[in-house]
């Protein structure tokens, strides 16, 4: 692959989105500016009040109120713009989802084309035929043995089984101890050991 | 006399050499001078990274009361960095590609590269990836001035542009320009140049 992968082309939609976002940034900057003005007017009003110029302070506060109104208005506009941007971006996502669905659908169609019902039926039929053929061959092979031969086979099987039995028995014999020949001596009943008496077993409450 | 490291009020740890009076004088011997310059460069860039400062002006050594006071002045030994010393430091930093004159064609003010544009490119790309903004068109303002603090907050546009240039060379970013301004779009593209 080359060093430079190609980047997607800039579409008019991209330009529109960028334009909206730039407008949004401008509004944000404007809001910052208004905030600065608000703070400044507040300081001015304070300074006027300190020097006793009440009417000037009132004028500054009035200007401040007006700017505050502007700030609220820009907030509304900003919200509008951001909603628009979000809507556009979401629509682009939807478009790409739709595109994905479309492609998936096409692939599915392609696969189905290769796998239509007729060919499946045909395939199943062929499989069944092959199985039947196999069974026939099996039967033929099995029937090849004559009755005598079959008997011989059965005899051999029995012989093998008997041999296995004998071997197993020998093994068991080797493991088990021999049976005692003498009678075991009688063992006296074990004397139950008396429980040691608890010290100070029964205490009697002494009346005070 | 023993020299000790000193922590500034903003929490930056100055090395012990900063308490040595000769350190604030431009050295004549070229070897001594280059060692001192190295130390100064390290202190300046470290402090800039610590406080997220991007611009340095010769003027910062001429006046007091700015954000560079903590390292250009040492009241404990009554020394300060002189403007022409700072100017020569700045020119050596520019020569070593640790800073760049901004605006170009003057030598009073520089942008500090406590991260190279290539490193900024990496920071930028991983920030975009971690915030899920791949393939989204973004404005420069949105990157350098996000509502929530990010590693790229208040990054100068000049550095941002250089970082984007680095990314677009490996097809990980694309600049979109319209009449009203510029925007950028980032792409995942894992392979680096």
- CATH number of the domain within which A79 lies: 1.10.287.1060
Task: Provide the pLDDT for residue A202.
Answer: 60
Same domain? For A131 and A166 the reply is yes
Do A36 and A100 belong to one domain? yes
Is A27 a domain residue?
yes
> Domain residues for A62?
12-114
Q: How many CB atoms lie within 10 A of CB A200?
A: 6
Q: Which of B134, B136, B137, B140 to mutate to test the interface with A (most CBs of A within 10 A)?
A: B137
Q: What is the pLDDT along chain A (208 residues), one digit of tens a residue?
A: 444 456 788 888 888 889 999 999 999 999 999 999 999 999 999 999 999 888 889 998 998 999 999 999 999 999 999 899 899 889 988 999 999 999 999 999 998 888 888 888 999 999 999 999 999 988 887 776 677 888 898 999 999 999 999 998 888 877 777 777 888 777 666 655 665 555 555 666 666 6
Q: Could you tell me if B163 and A116 are in contact, meaning their C-beta atoms sit under 8 angstroms apart?
A: no
Our separate counts of H helices and E strands in chain B read 7, 10
Reduce the DSSP state of residue B11 to 3 states and report it. coil
H helix or E strand, kind and range, residue B112: strand B109-112
In a domain, A207, yes or no: no
User: Mean pLDDT over all residues of chain A?
Assistant: 84
Give A-chain residues touching B185 at CB under 8 angstroms.
14
> Which value does ipTM take for this structure?
0.77
> Count of CB contacts below 8 A, A vs B?
44
pLDDT at B51 over 70: yes
Structure confidence at residue A180 (pLDDT) = 78
**pLDDT of res. B193:** 43
Confidence of residue B40 (pLDDT cuts 50, 70, 90): very high
* Domain co-membership, A110 together with A131: no
pLDDT in tens, B75-130: 888 888 999 999 999 999 999 999 999 888 888 899 999 999 999 999 999 999 99
CA distance A103 to chain B (A): 21
> Topology of domain B117-186, per CATH?
Arc Repressor Mutant, subunit A (1.10.10)
Query: pLDDT per residue over A70-120, tens digit each?
Result: 999 999 999 999 899 899 889 988 999 999 999 999 999 998 888 888 888
The confidence band for B48, taking pLDDT boundaries of 50, 70 and 90, is very high
- Let me know if residue A78 belongs to a domain: yes
What gap in Å lies between CA A129 and CA A123, rounded to an integer?
Answer: 10
Note the pLDDT of residue A2. Answer: 42
Q: Which of B138, B171, B180 sits opposite A5 (nearest CB)?
A: B171
CB contact at 8 A, A34 and A67: yes
Residues A86, A135: one domain? Answer: no
- The structure's pTM equals 0.67
Region(s) of chain B under CATH 1.10.10.10: 117-186
Helical spans, DSSP H, in chain B: 30-51, 59-62, 69-72, 83-95, 117-130, 140-144, 157-169
Together in a domain, A20 and A109: yes
pLDDT at A3: 44
Q: What is the pLDDT of residue A208?
A: 61
Whether residue B190 has pLDDT greater than 50:
yes
Task: Identify whether residues A80 and A133 lie together within a single domain.
Answer: no
Are B137 and A17 in contact (CB < 8 Å)? Answer: yes
Nearest to B142 among A5, A7, A21 (CB): A21
Are A20 and A106 part of one and the same domain? yes
Give the integer Cα–Cα distance in Å for A88 and A92. 6
pLDDT of residue A206: 67
Residues A35 and A74 in one domain: yes
Cβ burial, residue A76 (10 Å; 0-12/13-18/19+)? exposed
Number of domains in chain A: 2
- Which residues in chain B have their CB less than 8 angstroms from residue A25's CB? 139, 141-142
| A41 lies in the same domain as A70 | yes
In a domain, residue A86? The reply is yes
CATH number of the B6-112 domain: 1.10.10.570
Mutation for B interface: A17, A20, A22, A28, most B CBs within 10 A: A22
**What is the DSSP annotation of chain A?**
--S-PPPPP--HHHHHHHHHHHHHHHHHHHHHHHHHHHHHHHHHHHHHHHTT-HHHHHHHHHHHHHHHHHHHHHHHHHHHHHHHHHHHHHHHHHHHHHHHHHHHHHHHHHHHHHT-HHHHHHHHHHHHHHHHHHHHHHHHHHHTS-HHHHHHHHHHHHHHHHHHHHHHHHHHHHHSPPPP-SPPPP-PPPPPPPPPPPTT-S--PPP-
Q: Is A16 in the same domain as A105? A: yes
- Whether A105 maps to a domain, the answer reads yes
- Are both A108 and A97 inside the same structural domain? yes
Please say whether the beta carbons of B47 and B18 come within 8 A: no
């Amino acid at each position: 692959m080359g060093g430079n992968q190609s980047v997607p082309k800039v579409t008019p939609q991209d330009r529109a989105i960028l334009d909206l976002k730039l407008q949004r940034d401008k509004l944000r900057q404007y809001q910052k500016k208004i905030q600065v003005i608000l703070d400044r007017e507040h300081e001015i009003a304070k300074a006027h009040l300190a020097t006793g110029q009440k009417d000037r302070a009132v004028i500054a506060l009035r200007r401040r109120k007006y700017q505050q109104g502007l700030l609220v208005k820009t907030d509304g506009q900003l919200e509008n713009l951001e909603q628009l941007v979000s809507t556009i971006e979401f629509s682009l996502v939807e478009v790409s989802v739709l595109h994905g669905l479309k492609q998936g659908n096409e692939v599915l169609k392609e696969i189905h084309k290769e796998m239509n019902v007729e060919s499946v039926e045909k395939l199943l039929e062929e499989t069944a035929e092959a199985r039947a053929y196999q069974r026939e061959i099996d039967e033929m092979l099995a029937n090849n043995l004559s009755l005598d031969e079959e008997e011989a086979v059965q005899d051999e099987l029995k012989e093998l089984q008997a041999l296995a039995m004998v071997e197993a028995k020998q093994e068991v014999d080797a493991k088990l101890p021999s049976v005692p020949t003498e009678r075991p001596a009688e063992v006296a009943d074990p004397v139950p050991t008396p429980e040691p008496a608890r010290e100070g077993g029964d205490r009697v409450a002494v009346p005070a | 006399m023993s020299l000790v490291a000193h922590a500034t009020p903003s929490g930056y740890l100055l090395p012990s050499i900063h308490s040595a009076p000769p350190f604030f004088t431009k050295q004549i011997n070229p070897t001594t001078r280059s060692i001192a310059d190295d130390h100064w460069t390290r202190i300046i860039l470290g402090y800039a990274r610590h406080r997220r400062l991007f611009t340095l002006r010769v003027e910062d050594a001429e006046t007091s009361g700015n954000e560079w006071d903590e390292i250009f002045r040492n009241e404990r030994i009554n020394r300060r960095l002189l403007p022409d010393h700072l100017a020569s430091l700045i020119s050596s930093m520019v020569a070593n590609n640790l800073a760049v004159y901004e605006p170009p064609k003057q030598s009073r003010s520089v942008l500090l590269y406590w991260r190279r544009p290539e490193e900024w490119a990496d920071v930028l790309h991983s920030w975009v990836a971690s915030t899920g903004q791949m393939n989204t068109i973004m404005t420069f303002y949105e990157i350098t001035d996000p509502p929530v603090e990010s590693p790229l907050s208040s990054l100068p546009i000049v550095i941002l542009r250089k970082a984007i240039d680095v990314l677009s060379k490996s097809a990980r970013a694309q600049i979109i320009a319209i009449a009203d301004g510029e925007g950028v779009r980032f792409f995942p593209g894992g392979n680096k140049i």
